[in-house]
Structure 1
Amino acid sequence: MTEQRDSSFLLSSFAPRRRDALRLLSAAALGAGAWPAFAQDGKRLPRLVTVSGAITEVVYALGAEGQLVGTDTTSLFPAAARATPKVGYMRQLSAEGLLSLKPDAIIATNESGPTVVLDQVRTAGVKVEIIEADHSWGEVQRKVQAVGRAAAKEAQARELQARLDAEWVQVQQRIGAAKGRKPKVLFVLSHSASPQVSGEKTAAHAVIGFAGGVNALGGFQGYRPMTAEAMASAAPDIILTSTQSIEAHGGIERFWQRPELALTPAYKKRALITQDALLLLGFGPRLPAAIGELHDKFQAALA
């Protein structure tokens, strides 16, 4: 918080001069010819920067990838997105970096920032679409609608949304009809040397519930360090983590060697489920498929 306040103070101390510079940079960018995409009627389509791997997926799902001039570092799917110019990590954006790509619109979630940078880009005349990330199906819908508006592909967005809504209803009906008890599932975030576990108000908490499970930990929001006490009290039937977490640990066997995990029922059965982090937690157009796959793995682990 101190660093953020200091940054805001420094920016505000020369804001007028900075705004003028950003306007000039934006004007120069718009005047330069680069990477135009055109509609069938000959009109130039908006140039897009996406800040969220899931939002980038929507762009590709709408066939608007030719309008992409930049993405953030979480944009890893489809594979072609990895080759797009990168604007950095979604929480560490810079106005100069964004404007250098000459976008007409930037599409991001409210988890992106710093806020002051997005405000500077707006001041420079670039449209900024901010989507609320609340770990709901509505979040996916808002992403599709926002990309449709920004990309001038609203008809295609409506068609995509109708298809995704049908997929979501179908998978939720299937999960709702499942018999037997709901498994207690613990999500472990372990991309570094200090693993954490998810509580409420997290993407992991939401997907566990959508897939027919129960978060083994509650009573707090966000993430906490993984401790022996937490593992013993949670007593999860299943450990859920990302494939990236397993890779960071050096493989599944190395992951299970963590002493905290030995205190859980999941350890005795080696009940471990993994999914790609973006697929599992991104809340993009692949969410119905991800939840259906997760539910099937939950059921198999209980068998």
Structure 2
Amino acid sequence: MTWPVAPRRVISLSPATTEMVYAVGAEGRLLADTADCNYPPAAKAKQHVGKFGVVNAEYLLTLHPDLILATSEMAPKLIALRHLPCPVLALQTPTMASIDTAVMTVGKLLQATPAATVWQRQWRRRLQTVQQHPPTRKTTVFFVLWPDPLMTVSDHSFIGDIVRLAGGINVAGAVPTPYPLFSWESLLAGAPDWLVYTASLGKAGLAHGRWPQLTAVRQGRTVELVRDQVERSGPRSVDALEALHRALSLSRRPQR
């Protein structure tokens, strides 16, 4: 992808794309982002044009951007920006492999190809290390996207791809929708070897309510991932992958 003139007034509408800009060292071209863009910390000091998925188009227009970055999952929200006199690039990041391509695209557009190439080399090396050292035994995994109502991820989701690459078998993998509601009865029947969660549940939450009904919880086979790393399809997703891979690799055989 090429641009007639390299963009110098970039606005990022997604925390993931903001992280991509910083990953290639092009933050000097980043004019504004959103209030949800909290990494790296310097991103919080940029002007904000709204929140993720809620953009103040009138204010955005006054900044005279020459490129707007977003992710394809925001497509319905981007319709309202079609009238703006600047291009909107919605990056597709449905899998871990696609992040590689997206960051390189950002690097090339913002004249940061050398830095993007260095980042890409490191990213691929970390992915390769995980894939070359699979867990010694396959374990089933359930990811708690939200505790109440219970929501999870299927194999058709970005997080599901992380679970697969880490060597886990997703209990909800066959569900056709990416982020489905999941019944408690189905979770008990699935009897996952590992329960994976984020701050939406928290370690303290596992000790209460019905969670101790799960063998994985009673036997301490739980792992908390950093929410922004695992739920954001961006440069730090590999940190979540490595954390889950470490847990599954060190897992002991469940006691049934």
Please give the TM-score of this superposition, normalised by the length of structure 2.
Answer: 0.85
Is 1:216 matched with 2:171?
A: yes
Aligned partner of 2:189: which letter? S
1:191-230 to 2 correspondences below 5 Å: 193-220=148-175, 221-230=177-186
* Residue number among 49, 52, 56 corresponding to 2:14 in the alignment: 52
* Residue number among 79, 103, 124 corresponding to 1:165 in the alignment: 124
* Residue number among 76, 83, 94 corresponding to 1:120 in the alignment: 83
1:1-303 to 2 correspondences below 5 Å: 46-113=8-75, 114-121=77-84, 124=85, 126-137=86-97, 139-175=98-134, 178-179=135-136, 181-190=137-146, 193-220=148-175, 221-242=177-198, 244-246=199-201, 251-259=202-210, 261-302=211-252
Aligned-partner SS, 1:120: coil
Count of matched residue positions in the alignment of Structure 1 and Structure 2: 247
Structure 1: tracts of 5 or more residues without a match: 1-42
Q: How big is each residue's C-alpha offset from its partner over 1:83-139, in whole Å with a ceiling of 9 and x where there is no partner?
A: 222222332334223223322111111111413223222xx1x122221121231x2
Give the direction of change, closer, same or farther, for the CA distance of 1:91–1:294 in structure 2 (3 Å limit). same
Which structure: larger Rg? 1
Aligned-partner SS, 1:54: helix
Post-superposition shift, 1:257?
Answer: 1.4
Q: Please say if residues 195 and 225 of structure 1, whose CA atoms lie closer than 8 Å, have aligned partners that are also in contact.
A: yes
Aligned mates of 1:300, 1:272 — CA distance in 2: 12
Please give the TM-score of this superposition, normalised by the length of structure 1.
Answer: 0.73
Choose 104-113 or 207-216, whichever is displaced more.
104-113
Aligned partner of 1:47: which letter? R
Deviating beyond 4 angstroms after TM superposition, the runs of 4 or more aligned structure 1 residues are none
Post-superposition shift, 1:290?
Answer: 2.7
Post-superposition shift, 1:44?
Answer: 8.9
RMSD: 2.4
Aligned mates of 2:166, 2:73 — CA distance in 1: 24
Q: Please say if residues 140 and 169 of structure 2, whose CA atoms lie closer than 8 Å, have aligned partners that are also in contact.
A: yes
Aligned-partner SS, 1:229: helix
Aligned partner of 2:53: which letter? R
Q: Please say if residues 10 and 67 of structure 2, whose CA atoms lie closer than 8 Å, have aligned partners that are also in contact.
A: yes
Post-superposition shift, 1:218?
Answer: 3.1
Post-superposition shift, 1:45?
Answer: 6.1
Post-superposition shift, 1:264?
Answer: 2.3
Q: Please say if residues 48 and 150 of structure 1, whose CA atoms lie closer than 8 Å, have aligned partners that are also in contact.
A: no
Aligned mates of 1:234, 1:199 — CA distance in 2: 14
Give the direction of change, closer, same or farther, for the CA distance of 1:227–1:256 in structure 2 (3 Å limit). farther
Question: Identity of counterpart residues, as a percentage?
Answer: 26
Q: Please say if residues 7 and 67 of structure 2, whose CA atoms lie closer than 8 Å, have aligned partners that are also in contact.
A: no
Aligned mates of 1:270, 1:170 — CA distance in 2: 26
Post-superposition shift, 1:82?
Answer: 2.1
Aligned partner of 1:258: which letter? G
**Which has the bigger relative contact order, CA under 8 A and spacing at least 6?**
2
Aligned partner of 1:96: which letter? E
The structure with the largest helix share of the pair is 1
